Amino acid sequence: MQWTKWHTALVLLFIALVAGLCALATQLSLSRSNHLGLWFTVALGVLVLALMLVVGHGVAGRIDGILVDARNRVTLSNFQLVTWTLVVITAWGGAFLTNLLAGKSPNAALNVSVPQELWAALGVSGASYVGAKAISAPQKVKGMLHRRDSAQHASWADLFTSDLDAEAGHTDISKVQMFLFTVVLAIGYMGAVVNMLLNPTTPITALPPLNTAFVVVLAISHGGYLGRKATGNIGAPPAAG
C-alpha cells in the first residue's frame, strides 16, 4: 500500500472539482453553437480517469495500478470493468451536466434514463470479473497461476498472455479477442454519446440506445474468455498435501 495524505488530498480535490463543475453548469447557458455539454462531459471524463489513476497509484504504487490484481499482473477483467465504468459514468454524468446547462433544476437534471442494454454491458463485465476470480481460485490453490514479484513488475503484456504459469509469456487469443471487442464497442458507444451532446438545445432524458447485438457480441467474447480460462482446470494435478 503506497497511500499517503497526498492521495487523500487528491480524492478530496476530485470531489471539489466535480461539485464545482456542477455549480458552473448552473450558471452558464446551453446553445447549439457553444458545445458546452460536450466540453463539460470531456472534463468529467478526465476527472474520473484521473481519480482512477490516483487510486491505482495510491494502492499499487503506479498510476495504472487499478488494473493490477493480487498476483501483480495487469488483468483483462479489471480493464473491462474500468472501461465500462468510465463509459457509463461519463455518459450519464455528461447528460446530467448538459441538463443543468439547459436550465433544469438539479433534481430534474437527474432524470436521465439509462438503456437496459448499457446496464447489461456493465453487468456482463462485472459478471466476467467475478467469474474469472471464481475460475482462478482452484488454479491458485494448485499453484497453476503465474504471478509477479511486485506490482512494479506488472506489464500491459499481461492483458494478452495466459494466466497459467505453464503458459507464461504465450499469447491467449481469447484475451486478444475480448480486448478488441471491448475497445471497439466502448469507442463506438462513446461516439454515439458525443453525437448526442454536440448540438443539444433541449434537456436530455435518455442516453443513446444500444442494439441488442452489441451486448450479445460482448457476452460472446466474455464467454470465450471464461471458457478458455476454465480449461486450465481440466487435467490439473491435485493440490499438494
Q: Residue 94 pLDDT > 80, yes or no?
A: yes
Q: Residue 233 pLDDT > 70, yes or no?
A: no
Q: What percent of the chain has pLDDT over 70?
A: 86
* Average pLDDT in the chain: 83
For residue 222, being part of any structural domain is answered with yes
pTM attached to this predicted model? 0.80
The neighbour count for residue 65, using CB atoms within 10 Å, is: 22
H or E element at residue 23: helix 5-25
Question: Quick one: cell of 91?
Answer: 455518459
Residue 86: its pLDDT value, please? 92
Residue 140: its pLDDT value, please? 59
For residue 155, being part of any structural domain is answered with yes
Q: Could you tell me which of 153, 157, 180 has the C-alpha nearest to residue 169?
A: 157
For residue 92, being part of any structural domain is answered with yes
Q: How many domains does the chain have?
A: 1
| Higher per-residue pLDDT: 41 or 120 | 41
The answer to whether residues 114 and 207 touch, using CB atoms and an 8 Å cutoff, is yes
For residue 18, being part of any structural domain is answered with yes
Q: Residue 214 pLDDT > 80, yes or no?
A: no
- The Cα-based distances of 14 to 46, 47, 77 in angstroms read 10, 7, 25
For residue 78, being part of any structural domain is answered with yes
For residue 238, being part of any structural domain is answered with no
For residue 9, being part of any structural domain is answered with yes
Residue type, 113: S
Task: Print the domain residue range for 218.
Answer: 5-233
For residue 100, being part of any structural domain is answered with yes
